[in-house]
């Protein structure tokens, strides 16, 4: 048994026993880390062809994975989850010439079950020495695991619309795209482009990510829809939607020119969508202001009605919020501001910047996706309803924070941290914004993140260091406190004669976040772990009033 990640190696060394239950398996490591079957090649393009069969909820097809070889390697890992089956793998190699100027030969060879090994959901095959791997095409079929509660519990979704027409899609974030198609199911390597070619009954429409290139009637009751994505894309974002769709569109004059905005909705909901989707151009306007240009102009922007609540599928956002404002008609913040806009349009589209443009290499760092996107809701609220509304919204979200486990999860085993990555993540961003205390610089940092890490996969550390560097302040202790512990800083204070004494408790060593307080007028204090004092604001004033924007607790002590 190989131990690949820094979290699992310890458990690999320990003897197995009832008291030493191994929290992660070797299969988790294979799935979540850049192991020896993955680290020597880079996925360049996926060409995913699928035929969707509603009669038995099955999918059949192939994925051609074009490869750039980074260094020498032999073992290739491809992921596909049970009960999906690989029928064969066609491998394309170049022989490396032994003598200079001799001809490079392209060769194809086929592998069938028995010729590739399996371990859990990972399949392995070998390429011979002295060749360059160019591509491999995996032919597959099966009935992908059906989602019980999408999008949280992922898988394929097979439903009927109100008129009885078949309707399907997939939601597979976290669980992984390998639940329905063979791929390199590792977030640190996105294909730089993709094609999604869907064959379905010709009474229905098949929508994919990117641009529609071709729609071909096959003459046998089916139609093939070919969609192309011209940017890097997370494998979980590449998803088909098949149903009885109606279509309308508009062109938005955006920062990078005209942006095609296309909407695909069930025929029965066309009129509702025409009104509800007015939030889409509003969203683009606000987010281009805060984050910079929409990242995928060539591919356009789409909202596609989905049989589940929603997901950030790149350039084809899944929309299933029932044409109501709020989150299924409710306001997660309790402030009332969340009912002014459609949660799914705003939140899932916010991910186009944080998740799709900037992706994390490891889902342990997923707060970068969810924390900033949760904060995009705050910024949307601020753009249209003002700063007070935004503060009410973000502070209102705090009641949803659990502080159960750290926001950042264990690395290398495909494991997310706490669900607090949403609300605590956005409150961390809001708190940092207070410390930066310069909104134009703060906005510049948000835009800079999207520019500097454009189409890249990153770590949380890279994002943290970027923010510290741009704001010329070392925020490392603040990030450690909120992302790597479950403790919320407490500002303790007490009244002593003419003074109020204050200090931090419950903090990581070296935590020194300045705070804005109200004391007659606004002023700043710089608490540490040691008692400090300020003069009482008035003879009757015996509380220390910290601006509510800071996510800390205050406690008066005797
Ligand atoms: Zn999200």
Contacts 24+ apart (CB under 8 A), 416-422: 416/174, 416/363, 416/364, 416/366, 417/364, 417/366, 417/367, 417/483, 418/486, 421/366, 421/367, 421/369, 421/370, 421/371, 422/370, 422/371, 422/374, 422/397
CA–centroid distance, residue 351 to ligand 1 (Å): 7
Under 8 Å CB-to-CB from 248, ≥6 apart: which residues?
262, 263, 270, 273, 274
Which three-class secondary structure string do you get for 332-373?
Answer: CCCCCHHHCCEHHHHHHHHCCCECCCEEECCHHHCHHHHHHH
CA–centroid distance, residue 174 to ligand 1 (Å): 12
Nearest 5°: CA angle at 176, between 170 and 178? Answer: 85
CA–centroid distance, residue 347 to ligand 1 (Å): 6
Q: Is 202 helix (H, G, I), strand (E, B) or coil?
A: coil
Cβ atoms of 157 and 171 closer than 8 Å: yes
Helix-helix angle 439-452:279-291, to 10 degrees: 100
CA–centroid distance, residue 373 to ligand 1 (Å): 6
CA–centroid distance, residue 511 to ligand 1 (Å): 29
CA–centroid distance, residue 479 to ligand 1 (Å): 20
The rounded distance, in Å, linking the Cα atoms of 51 and 225 is 10
CA–centroid distance, residue 377 to ligand 1 (Å): 11
pLDDT tens for 157-216 read 999 999 999 999 999 998 999 999 999 999 999 999 999 999 999 999 999 999 999 999
Cβ atoms of 169 and 308 closer than 8 Å: yes
Q: Max Cα separation, the chain?
A: 92
Q: Is 63 helix (H, G, I), strand (E, B) or coil?
A: strand
pLDDT tens for 31-71 read 999 999 999 999 999 999 999 999 999 999 999 999 999 99
> What strand order describes the sheet that includes 499-505?
532-535, 499-505, 490-496, 553-556
CA–centroid distance, residue 443 to ligand 1 (Å): 21
Does position 95 have pLDDT exceeding 50, yes or no?
A: yes
Structure tokens at 344: 């799914």
CA–centroid distance, residue 274 to ligand 1 (Å): 24
Q: What integer is the mean pLDDT of 420-448?
A: 98
CA–centroid distance, residue 27 to ligand 1 (Å): 26
CA–centroid distance, residue 330 to ligand 1 (Å): 17
The rounded distance, in Å, linking the Cα atoms of 414 and 24 is 10
CA–centroid distance, residue 467 to ligand 1 (Å): 21
CA–centroid distance, residue 71 to ligand 1 (Å): 35
472 CA to centre of own chain: 28
The rounded distance, in Å, linking the Cα atoms of 408 and 413 is 13
Distances (CA, A) of 203 to 27, 215, 218, 303: 41, 13, 12, 21
DSSP characters for 434-484?
Answer: HHHT-HHHHHHHHHHHHHHTTTEEE-HHHHHHHHHHHHTS--HHHHHHHHH
Identify the pLDDT of residue 375: 98
Choose among 558, 546, 466: nearest CA to 513: 546
CA–centroid distance, residue 317 to ligand 1 (Å): 11
Provide the mean pLDDT of the chain.
93
Q: What integer is the mean pLDDT of 5-24?
A: 40
CA–centroid distance, residue 372 to ligand 1 (Å): 9
CA–centroid distance, residue 310 to ligand 1 (Å): 9
DSSP letter assigned to residue 96: P
CA–centroid distance, residue 154 to ligand 1 (Å): 14
CA–centroid distance, residue 350 to ligand 1 (Å): 8
Predicted confidence band of residue 122 (pLDDT cuts 50, 70, 90): very high
Nearest 5°: CA angle at 467, between 505 and 341? Answer: 90
Distances (CA, A) of 89 to 43, 79, 109, 176: 16, 13, 8, 21
pLDDT tens for 491-541 read 999 999 999 999 999 999 999 999 999 877 889 999 999 999 999 877 667
Identify the pLDDT of residue 15: 33
Q: What integer is the mean pLDDT of 118-126?
A: 94
DSSP letter assigned to residue 399: G
CA–centroid distance, residue 109 to ligand 1 (Å): 42
The rounded distance, in Å, linking the Cα atoms of 519 and 517 is 6
Paired residues of 228 in beta bridges: 195, 211
Does position 101 have pLDDT exceeding 70, yes or no?
A: no
CA–centroid distance, residue 128 to ligand 1 (Å): 42
Predicted confidence band of residue 98 (pLDDT cuts 50, 70, 90): low
pLDDT tens for 277-324 read 999 999 999 999 999 999 999 999 999 999 999 999 999 999 999 999
Share of the chain above pLDDT 70, in %: 94
Does position 22 have pLDDT exceeding 70, yes or no?
A: no
Predicted confidence band of residue 97 (pLDDT cuts 50, 70, 90): low
CA–centroid distance, residue 5 to ligand 1 (Å): 27
Q: Is 395 helix (H, G, I), strand (E, B) or coil?
A: helix
CA–centroid distance, residue 379 to ligand 1 (Å): 15
The rounded distance, in Å, linking the Cα atoms of 283 and 302 is 13
DSSP letter assigned to residue 15: P
CA–centroid distance, residue 308 to ligand 1 (Å): 14
CA–centroid distance, residue 344 to ligand 1 (Å): 9
User: Please, which residues have CB less than 5 A from ligand 1, an ion?
Assistant: 370, 373
CA–centroid distance, residue 20 to ligand 1 (Å): 34
Does position 21 have pLDDT exceeding 50, yes or no?
A: no
Does position 4 have pLDDT exceeding 50, yes or no?
A: no
Identify the pLDDT of residue 417: 97
Identify the pLDDT of residue 394: 98
């Amino acid at each position: 048994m190989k131990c690949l990640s820094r979290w699992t190696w310890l458990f690999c060394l320990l003897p197995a026993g009832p008291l030493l239950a191994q929290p992660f398996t070797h299969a988790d490591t294979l799935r979540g880390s850049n192991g020896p079957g993955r680290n020597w090649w880079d996925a360049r393009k996926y060409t995913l062809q699928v035929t969707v069969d509603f009669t038995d909820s099955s999918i059949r097809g192939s994925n051609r994975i074009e490869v750039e070889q980074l260094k020498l390697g032999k073992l290739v890992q491809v992921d596909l989850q049970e009960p999906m089956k690989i029928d064969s793998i066609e491998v394309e190699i170049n022989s490396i010439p032994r003598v200079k100027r001799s001809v490079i030969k392209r060769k194809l060879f086929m592998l069938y079950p028995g010729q590739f090994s399996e371990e859990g959901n990972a399949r392995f095959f070998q390429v011979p020495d002295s060749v360059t791997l160019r591509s491999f095409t995996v032919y597959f079929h099966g009935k992908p695991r059906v989602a019980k509660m999408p999008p949280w519990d992922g898988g394929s979704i097979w439903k009927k619309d109100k008129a009885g027409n078949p309707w399907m899609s997939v939601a597979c974030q976290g669980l992984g795209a390998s639940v329905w198609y063979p791929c390199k199911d590792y977030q640190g390597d996105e294909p730089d482009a993709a094609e999604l070619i869907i064959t379905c009954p010709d009474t229905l429409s098949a929508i994919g990510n990117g641009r529609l290139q071709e729609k071909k009637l096959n003459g046998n009751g089916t139609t093939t829809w070919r969609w192309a994505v011209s940017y890097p894309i997370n494998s979980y974002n590449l998803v088909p939607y098949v149903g009885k769709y109606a279509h309308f569109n508009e062109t938005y004059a955006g920062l990078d020119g005209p942006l095609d905005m296309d909407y695909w909705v069930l025929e029965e909901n066309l009129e509702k969508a025409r009104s509800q989707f007015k939030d889409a151009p509003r969203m683009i306007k606000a987010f281009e202001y805060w984050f910079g240009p929409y990242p995928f102009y060539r591919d356009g922007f789409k909202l596609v009605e989905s049989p589940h609540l929603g997901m950030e599928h790149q350039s084809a956002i899944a929309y299933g919020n029932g044409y109501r404002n709020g989150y299924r008609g409710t306001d997660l913040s309790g402030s009332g501001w969340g009912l002014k806009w459609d949660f799914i349009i705003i939140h899932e589209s916010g991910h186009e910047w944080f998740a799709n443009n900037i992706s994390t290499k490891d889902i342990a760092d997923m707060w970068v996706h969810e924390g900033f996107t949760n904060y995009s809701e705050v910024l949307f609220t601020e753009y249209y309803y003002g700063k007070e509304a935004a503060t009410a919204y973000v502070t209102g979200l705090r009641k949803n924070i659990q502080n159960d486990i750290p926001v950042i999860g264990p690395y290398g085993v495909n494991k997310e941290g706490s669900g607090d990555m949403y609300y605590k993540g956005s409150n961390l961003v809001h708190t940092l914004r207070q410390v930066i205390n310069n909104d134009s610089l703060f906005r510049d940092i948000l835009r800079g993140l999207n520019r500097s890490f454009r189409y890249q996969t990153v770590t949380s550390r890279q994002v943290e260091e970027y923010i510290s560097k741009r704001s010329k302040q070392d925020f490392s202790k603040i990030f450690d406190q909120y992302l790597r512990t479950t403790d919320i800083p407490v500002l303790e204070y007490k009244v002593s004669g003419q003074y109020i004494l204050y200090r931090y408790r419950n903090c990581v060593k070296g935590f020194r976040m300045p705070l804005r307080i109200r004391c007659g007028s606004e002023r700043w204090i710089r608490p540490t772990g040691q008692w400090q004092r300020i003069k009482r604001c008035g003879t009757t004033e015996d509380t220390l009033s910290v601006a509510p924007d800071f996510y800390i607790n205050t406690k008066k002590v005797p």
